[in-house]
Amino acid sequence: MISGKIPNEIVQLSKMGYLDLSSNQLSGDIPAEIGKLSKLFKLILKDNKLSGEVPAGIRGLSNLESLDLSINMLGGLIPDQIGDCWKLQSLSLSMNYLNGTIPFQIANLRALQYFDLSFNSLMGGIPPQLGSLLDLEYLNLSNNNLNGSVPTSLGIMVSLISINLSSNNLEGPLPEGKIFRSATLEAFSNNKDLCGEFQGLRPCYASVIKKGGRNMKSKLVIIIVASFVGALSLSITSVGIFLFLEKKHSRNTVKDESTSNRKNPFSIWHFDGKTVYEDIVEASENFDDKYCIGVGGTAKVYKVEIPGAQVLAVKKLRSMAEGTGTENIKSFTNEVAALTEIRHRNIMKLFGFCFQKVHSFLVYEFMERGSLAGMLGSEERAKELDWATRVQIVKGVAHALSNMHHDCSPPIIHRDISSKNILLNPNHEACISDFGTARFLKPNSSNWTTIAGTYGYLAPELAYTMVVTEKCDVYSFGVLVLEVLMGNHPGELIANLNYSTSTGAPLKDVLDDRLSPPRSLKIANELALMQNLALLCLCANPQSSPTMHSVCRQLEM
């Protein structure tokens, strides 16, 4: 392994055609003189600690066909001069700290087939000139701060077989074109306001209603949550407060009102808290146990179907008469505060809440397949979770935790990550639920806490430090990953790790034997990576365990 800066002597090797220094400990800037290596056709410097900017001198690499500077700490702008490397077929600058806009000069790279700028801080719009890259097969611009609409020119890129524009601030209609008909919803998820024919995106004709509704909703959420938390600090209120926030309600309003005279009570336009409250109580027959689908120490969860609205999951707190204590009220307020702060496709959606003397409850989207624990615990249902699905479940949870730890201010720590708190939708996509023990990390506080969570998933350091950090979730995530691989809780394996310096059991001895071994090399490699990451998360020294941001980067490599 090489460490330190890139030796200056390298740039004197003018006839060198291939240079691969990947996965070392190289640091410092990329030498500006790198452009003197005019014979170079392949340059790979990925997975190092290189900093500074991509040098403008790169324009001298006129014979370069492949450039990979991914997984470094490069910052600044992407130089316009990169457009002079007209022979480039593969260009990856992903997982850096690049900012500014995407230079339109990249459109000069007419031979380009692979283009990856994901996981940076790029902003501005997607240059429409990229549509001229007619040989491009792979385009990944995900996890940036790109805004505006998706250029229609991308729809005519006939060679494009993979596209990922997720986790940006894009809005407006998706273009027509083969790639936009064949891609999955995940390729466009977590954006500002994209619309199209995909299930999960709103229809484009609802743009006016959507735009107005969102602004109104944001203001109402702030007012209601602030009032709610403030009222609780003085006394327990007896007034029911309720608001539905789900995007589907605005969409359903457009459809339902065109065919019915009855106004949808869940629409922001016709919202009536009293009506919503009464509809839920009526649909659940005053919370009859026959609608109960789950029981916890402080609450019950009910499946509620209301005519004209989607199926709901209602988590009802024990009533005042049943002895709702201060801790239960705190759990209630924790959940409201956390879930009104977070917006992520892999985190349970809170539609609204009600707090009053008779009934106090929270309302969520209903997750048809129930908990991950329930599926893994069933011989038959566990077989529905094939290896590719399990990989996606782990990635979904990782991205959600990374969002909570690194994209929220202050950071949010869940404190009870376990398979029973991971719920699955009809497509087996994972959502983190139950934020009753969640904590906001306060920068100027000790963050001392009592122990909370599920036995078997708790980070050992909590037992003696009593200080909550994001590494508590990292440890629980490591346990969860092994559970997904093994099909059951990895208690014995974790116990053995405490007495062994080995890297754990071979992958084939770990995998759930209810499934056939993975046939795809790609899936097998991803499972092996998941196992290694899980072991890193379970490191005895929490300071040595990775962050969730780092875990996500590894999973998306």
CB 257 within 8 A of CB 263: yes
Reduce the DSSP state of residue 4 to 3 states and report it.
strand
Q: How far apart are CA 421 and CA 428, in angstroms?
A: 14
Pairing mode of beta strands 114-116, 138-140: parallel
352-367 core/surface letters (b: 16 or more CB in 10 A; e: else): bbbbbeebbbbbbbbb
The first and second tokens of residue 167, run together, are 């986790």
Q: Which is catalytic among the residues 416, 473, 509, 512?
A: 416
- Beta-carbon contacts of 174 under 8 Å, excluding residues fewer than 6 positions away, are 150, 180, 188, 194, 195, 196, 198, 201
Q: How far is CA 252 from CA 20, 330, 440, in A?
A: 54, 34, 34
Q: Is residue 416 annotated as a catalytic residue, yes or no?
A: yes
Supply φ then ψ for residue 417, to 5 degrees: -75, 120
* DSSP codes joined into one string, 308-341: TS-EEEEEEEPPGGGT--HHHHHHHHHHHHHHTT
The first and second tokens of residue 522, run together, are 């790609």
- Angle, to 10 degrees, between the axis of helix 387-402 and the axis of helix 521-537? 40
Which of 455, 430, 416 is CA-nearest to residue 371? Answer: 430
CB 284 within 8 A of CB 236: no
Could you list the active site residues? Answer: 416
